Structure 1
């Protein structure tokens, strides 16, 4: 019952944090909307020069309210993430051993910046991706984008880039668990690089090679860095492990 009460209290704190952050995001809705629509507004004049009329529209009587609520809620979840992540961490922490706590803290401290960096890279690529996709609009046809569709596109792009940035962390974790070795990573490097480019081509919503390269090249570099770390880890493990004896060699006996 003590554990259930603690879980209830931490869930209440997490929900309250999300609610407060959502209210704050609602108050700064105009600034958040300007940030989200900046990639689109950046390429809109270029589309105009090519004869493509494109506008972001909100449909329905309650469409504007639903759209603002959705953006505020997602922004509130992101803003309050340190609070609800800490509540989850604090609930699990007492059940972990010291070594597990250290590795969990290291993975969290490394994974969060990697995800944020991937999402930031997606935001940089967004104008080019939007330009390519809207560029398929034929002559004489206007392009209308609903607010919900535009918001979903941005979130999907940032999630794909953010998750892709976590690949080196997964590789290092598998190496630490003994699933793969640095030598195996090196031998499979050509196929891994091909797989990375195939994944980038499928994951990016746009069809242009530039957006694919923006995702594939950093993923490849991060994989190579993870491979180097894995090889250094294997070398350190081999030095720390006791020397193995041959089948016909006697082990020294202690007096």
Structure 2
């Protein structure tokens, strides 16, 4: 008979739902707490986010607001999104606290690094977009503006544009975590992933074409990191598989097997 996960207890459905509700309320509370702390700086936050575009606007040109409420609603919306991103560690911590009791010890040893890595990689993807991708894209857009056309971007349209890129790059940088998970649970093996490498590269460019604006620069800047992160996931997954194939130490009993009987 297989052992139940460590610290597993028979909890009724109502108890699980109550715990889930409590953790969801904590997530919502964290988001609103961060939002209220940042709301006073909403205009400053939007100024910071719009800096990569404003740097390449023609002399005398400014961003514009075409809707009456845009000067208020757009920074408000951005601040709420920023609060959500900043609350992501709290949200993932609550998710971990909900699922951790159902995991074995060896599963927890893998899950914790993956959880931390997913947070770091998501923020790294957003930073990559802001500091590297945005300047290249906006410089290109400004340089190809037709003669006689004044480049004056609407603040709401700009926010939608950059949030799409932030989310696309944040999710794309999660590829190593996804690859390691697939290898760890046995859905695919390392040799198979290496075999389909050409198709993955093509798929990266297809995803880049779908998730980014219709220009070759932003598509390439998303597709190439996705491919490199895929290779990083294969490397990490092969190391995990190698470690799993090694026999356990003589003085160490696997957590998911009953201890050997005494002689």
TM over 0.5: yes
Compared CA separation, residues 231 and 79, structure 1 to 2 (3 A): closer
Residue 57 in structure 1 maps to residue 70 in structure 2: no
Output the CA distance in 1 between the equivalents of 2:20 and 2:228. Answer: 41
Residue 24 in structure 1 maps to residue 31 in structure 2: no
CA shift digits 1:50-98 (9 cap, x unpaired): xxx7532123332222113212211222233333332333233333333
Residue 67 in structure 1 maps to residue 74 in structure 2: yes
Counterpart in the other structure of 1:105: 112
Output the CA distance in 2 between the equivalents of 1:110 and 1:234. Answer: 18
Residue 89 in structure 1 maps to residue 102 in structure 2: no
Bigger Rg, structure 1 or 2: 1
What's the RMSD between the two structures over aligned residues?
Answer: 2.6
Alignment of structure 1 residues 150-165 onto 2, 5 Å:
150-165=158-173
Alignment of structure 1 residues 1-255 onto 2, 5 Å:
1-44=14-57, 47-48=58-59, 54-124=61-131, 125-209=133-217, 211-236=218-243, 240=247
Secondary structure (helix, strand or coil) at the match of 2:62 reads: strand
Output the CA distance in 1 between the equivalents of 2:206 and 2:26. Answer: 42
What is the TM-score normalised by the length of structure 2?
0.77
CA apart distance, 1:126: 0.7
Unaligned runs of 5+ in 1: 242-255
| Contact 1:129-1:206 within 8 A present in 2 as well | no
Counterpart in the other structure of 1:251: none
Structure with greater helix percent: 1
CA shift digits 1:194-229 (9 cap, x unpaired): 3323433443315143x3443233222222222233
Compared CA separation, residues 234 and 105, structure 1 to 2 (3 A): closer
Output the CA distance in 1 between the equivalents of 2:129 and 2:148. Answer: 31
Counterpart in the other structure of 1:246: none
What is the TM-score normalised by the length of structure 1?
0.79
CA apart distance, 1:134: 4.5
Output the CA distance in 2 between the equivalents of 1:195 and 1:24. Answer: 41
Per mean C-alpha deviation after superposition, the further-off stretch among 230-239 and 9-18 is: 230-239
Counterpart in the other structure of 2:252: none
